[in-house]
Amino acid sequence: MLEIQNLTKTYGKHTALSDVTLSAHDGEVFGLLGPNGAGKTTLLRLLATLLTPTSGTATVAGHDVQRDPEAVRRVVGVVNGGMGLPARLTGREVLKSFAGLYGMSRSQTDTRIAELDEKLELGRTLDVRAGEYSTGMRQKVVIARAVIHDPAVLILDEASSGLDIFARRTLLDFVAATRAPGRLTVYSTHVMSEAEEVCDRMAIVHEGKLVTVDTLGGILARTGERNLERAFFALLRGTPAGGTYAV
Ligand SMILES: Nc1ncnc2c1ncn2[C@@H]1O[C@H](COP(=O)(O)OP(=O)(O)OP(=O)(O)O)[C@@H](O)[C@H]1O
């Protein structure tokens, strides 16, 4: 569902992502973990066709991000930290306008909004103007907007940041519920407990390089640690500065 080969992105002289090769499969919630500046956002923006690779390739649901970005955009939904909402529109109006961009009919749109209302517990958020939203309300509508067209691939970049425990719980339950045949969710976070809970497999990136890709069980077994946070530090300690990593 996601095939990444030798993907590299440089900004001027700075290499944000270096020679990353990995694949994520149909039916998975796939985690992308790493400290600040590791290259997670860069990788996700490359997959969402918001950036172009310096070298290497990536295909999303069979579509090459460079050769067919339009097709990639049709099958992905993206949530990232910097997404705002028009202050004067209600959540429902935001969702309807996005549904229109995807060519959804009025009845398809109403059905989908009702589904998302249930899954994301949108409630009164739908009929309040975005300018009056709390962080949690805003993030729920941003997520609903990203999935209004029911994309096969959902990309969430640090989607839980700033959320209180109620909104975070709704988000994590929603992410877990995206696990289905024909679907892939890529979930980037630096919160290890979130990855432990929702990710089937995860890639750890550090300083633009891939450190490992494995299941939680595999990572714990390999490092001999009792939780992901400890394993994460053990793996980062074990990586040679500027060297190559065993994946
Ligand atoms: N537009 C840009 N121009 C120059 N350098 C950039 C640009 N975007 C990112 N970088 C650098 O590339 C590296 C990777 O950044 P990226 O945002 O992908 O990391 P991240 O893992 O998402 O981190 P964070 O969790 O802090 O968002 C960082 O060193 C960052 O400073």
Angstrom distance (rounded) from CA 83 to CA 80: 6
For residue 68, the Cα-to-chain-centroid distance in whole angstroms is 20
Task: Look up tokens 């020679």; give the residue.
Answer: 19
ipTM: 0.93
| Domain annotation for the chain: domains and CATH numbers | 2-86+152-237 (3.40.50.300)
Q: Please give the number of the atom of ligand 1 that sits closest to the Cα of 17.
A: 14
Whether the CA torsion 17, 236, 24, 158 is positive or negative: it is negative
Angstrom distance (rounded) from CA 106 to CA 117: 16
| Coil/strand/helix, residue 14 | strand
- Whole-structure pTM value: 0.90
Report residue 193: phi and psi, to 5°: -65, -30
81 C-alpha to ligand 1 centroid (Å): 13
Taking CB atoms and a 6 Å cutoff, what residues make up the pocket around ligand 1? 11, 14, 16, 34, 36-42, 190
39: left (phi over 0), alpha (psi -120 to 50) or beta: left
Q: What is the secondary structure of 131-177 as a DSSP string? A: GG--HHHHHHHHHHHHTTT--SEEEEESTTTT--HHHHHHHHHHHHH
Give mean pLDDT in consecutive 10-residue pieces for the chain, a chain of 247 residues.
Answer: 96 94 96 93 95 96 96 92 85 96 94 94 94 90 93 94 86 92 95 95 95 95 92 81 46
pLDDT of residue 170: 86
